[in-house]
Amino acid sequence: MPEGTESKAHNNFKNHHFSGNVYIFQAYDVGDDINLEKVQKIRALGLVPLSLPKYFKNYHTPLAVDLPHPHESTRFIGSKIHNFGTISLTYQVPFSGTLSDLRKQLVTMHNQYQEQSVMDVKSIFKTIERCITKPIFFQMNTSYTVVQVTPDSSIGDIAQLKRDYGAIIASMLRFETQDLSEPQKNDILEGDIGYFRGDLIIIDTDAAFLYDAEYREILDFFEFANIQQLELRYFDRLLDQQLNKMYEGEGRNLPLISYLPFATSVEGDPMSRLSKMRVDISVIAERLEGSVKLAGEPYYSELYQLLKDKLDLKNWQQGIDRKLSIIHDIQSTYQNKIDVTREDLLSVLIILLIFIELVIGLLNFFVK
């Protein structure tokens, strides 16, 4: 191919216009629990019908709501309130233009809707605050961005798409405006999957690229994985805080009543609080893990597993399990201490009773 022709072809594909949508998922942890039955009675919130895909179990069926009116969030398309203290929001931003232009806009877009989501979730939080156990705005948040591009027949096959636009896509998923190094680019692009021949899905740690027209069903995976990451990160931080208190000596002194024979856990007992927290975290984490069942759906199963790997959910879960195990060991140590103290106390009481009986017997003997 002559040099001029090759340069012209290069410029043509660089200037090619695509269309699609950018989906931004935000999740906020705003308290320990949310009473969804009370939330349903709040008139200021507009309830929205919710139909979960068949592969989502209803362990934690959320409540879909609209933003309290009036609001100016034009790209907002939905919010869900979860009973374990989380509010999630979704934004849809249509685009039309070159991928290079989209790459430049994506960072600004992400920051803009990060700020917008704070205002939007705050309006929901204020409306439902009385329904939240230990409300706080906000403890932690996570976000994930999905760039959806409508397939274009003039592009050719997926291999051609990756050759021509792979560098732009890879840097876009890292929110960079310049091309990444070859090793970094290849690492991002090698994990692609697709169901039909003309489909392409590339998943990275903070964003994903969907070259697919029939994509709406899989958006739920990205929203749910973002919420799952939020809860795991929150649990991990909460356990760190509790363990630091134990290491620093806070909460080591148990109430005296704890050492009395036949006494059970008392209110304010730090070990009881740790035990309750350990159970709550274990139950919620297990239900989040088991909320997606993909038996008989190998494509969705592969997609969700890749998403979990990129978000490092397994390592977050393993870290939580290790800390829960440490808390269990601490509880066992304290329980052994209580048991030994109780046995010593019983022994002292028995000896004291024997001594009193002996004294009474001697007094009776000398009085006679």
Residue 193 CB neighbour total at 10 angstroms? 13
Residue 358 CB neighbour total at 10 angstroms? 10
List Cβ neighbours of 228 (8 Å cut-off, separation of 6 or more). 288, 289, 311, 313
> What pLDDT does 8 receive?
42
Residue 154 DSSP class: G
Strand bridging mode 140-149 / 207-211 = parallel
pLDDT < 70 regions, the chain: 1-13, 58-59, 249-272, 295, 368
> What pLDDT does 335 receive?
72
> What pLDDT does 135 receive?
93
Cis before 183 (ω within 30): no
Chain centroid to Cα 291, Å, comes to 13
> What pLDDT does 10 receive?
47
User: CA angle 68-121-201, nearest 5°?
Assistant: 115
Evaluate whether 302 touches 193 at the Cβ level (below 8 Å).
yes
List Cβ neighbours of 270 (8 Å cut-off, separation of 6 or more). 251, 252, 254
List Cβ neighbours of 222 (8 Å cut-off, separation of 6 or more). 23, 25, 144, 146, 208, 307
